Amino acid sequence: MGANAIRHPPGQRRLSRLLNIGIPYLWLGLFFLLPFVIVLRISVAEPALAQPPYSLLWEWVEQGLLRIQINLGNFMLIRDDSIYLAAFLNSLWVAFICTLLCLLLGYPMAYAIATAPERRRVILLMLIILPFWTSFLIRVYAWIGILNANGLLNNFLLWLGVIDEPLRILHTQAAVYIGVVYSYLPFMILPLYANLTRLDPTLLEAAADLGCRPFRAFLRVTLPLSMAGIIAGSLLVFIPVVGEFVIPDLLGSPGSLMVGKLLWTEFFSNQDWPLASALAIVLLALLVVPFVFMQRLQQDPDEVQP
């Protein structure tokens, strides 16, 4: 009996279709929408000396009246206080620079892996993924030993005679860039590699037959067709770096203010959960803008023409 002869009852097909559609929406509802609603509810509350440390959104008063209290002061404070604006701008700038550096470093690496012989690709990909096998915190702490004044990098440069005294790299903005690029570079390489391996090599052969030089063929053929990988890798780097806390806290200077540090301070030091939640809501709103923009750019990557 052929496969076409197997027919499922209409009710079973509807149930299967409902499960295929409903399970992803259920997942998004439980792990995105519900936490978002909880954070949004806390962001419009007032701080209180209680457990949890915020006021109730509604309460019953006398004669069965329901009183709803919505506090927008947290969002107004974020708008009016320059320290929060500086933190958001600094976080976006650091994320932009690190994303650009990851792209400049990751694209040649992904291209080299994609064009390597197939027997070597697994080894090269293993070298990219290998750092994920160790703890993220341990890898960041390792950079403290490398970038320290008497660390590995300064001792090596002194041994070569390149410098006469140790460089001050640790606890600077440069150290933050180094740590972020090192930690998030695989997130740029892997989407680019997946995209580049799907490109048709005969397109480059056709460009060469038409007299197009290799570099020009790369600009006119390979680069436009790999735009989907560039966008995916950029999103995977930019979005988490904006809210990064560990790397700036361990490698950056005390004066380098980022949103992740503010969130930590408001949640755990000041116990101001409503203000921290408002910061998280504003940060999410800022990240939705580039996400939607990138999504519109790659709505139909097949339309990109060399």
Which H/E stretch holds residue 116?
A: none
What's the confidence (pLDDT) of residue 11?
A: 64
Q: How many CB atoms lie within 10 A of CB 258?
A: 27
Inside any domain, residue 93: yes
Inside any domain, residue 255: yes
Give backbone dihedrals phi and psi of 52, rounded to 5 degrees, phi first. -70, 160
Inside any domain, residue 11: no
Inside any domain, residue 28: no
Per-residue pLDDT of the chain (306 residues; tens, 9 = 90+): 444 545 666 667 777 777 777 888 888 888 888 999 999 999 999 888 877 888 888 777 777 787 888 889 999 999 998 999 999 999 999 999 999 999 999 999 999 999 999 889 999 999 999 888 888 999 999 999 999 989 899 999 999 988 889 999 999 999 999 999 999 999 999 999 999 999 888 888 888 888 888 888 888 888 999 998 999 999 999 999 999 999 999 998 877 789 998 999 898 888 899 999 999 999 998 888 777 776 676 665 444 444
Inside any domain, residue 257: yes
Give backbone dihedrals phi and psi of 66, rounded to 5 degrees, phi first. -100, 120
The number of distinct structural domains making up the chain is 1
CATH classification at residue 228: 1.10.3720.10
Return all residues near 62 (Cβ < 8 A) that are at least 6 apart: none
Structural domain including 249 reads 81-271
Inside any domain, residue 20: no
Rounded Cα–Cα distance for residues 93 and 64 (Å): 51
Query: What does the buried/exposed string (b/e) look like for 45-78 if buried means 16 or more CB atoms within 10 Å of the residue's CB?
Result: bbbeeeeebbbeeeeeeeeeeeeeeebeebbeeb
pTM (2 d.p.): 0.85
Inside any domain, residue 216: yes
Q: What angle do CA 189, 193, 194 make, to 5 degrees?
A: 120
Q: Among candidates 251, 233, 32, which has minimal Cα distance to 136?
A: 251
Inside any domain, residue 5: no
Largest Cα–Cα distance in the chain?
86
Rounded Cα–Cα distance for residues 50 and 39 (Å): 17
Between the CA of residue 81 and those of 74, 78, 91, what are the distances in Å? Answer: 10, 6, 16
67: left (phi over 0), alpha (psi -120 to 50) or beta: beta
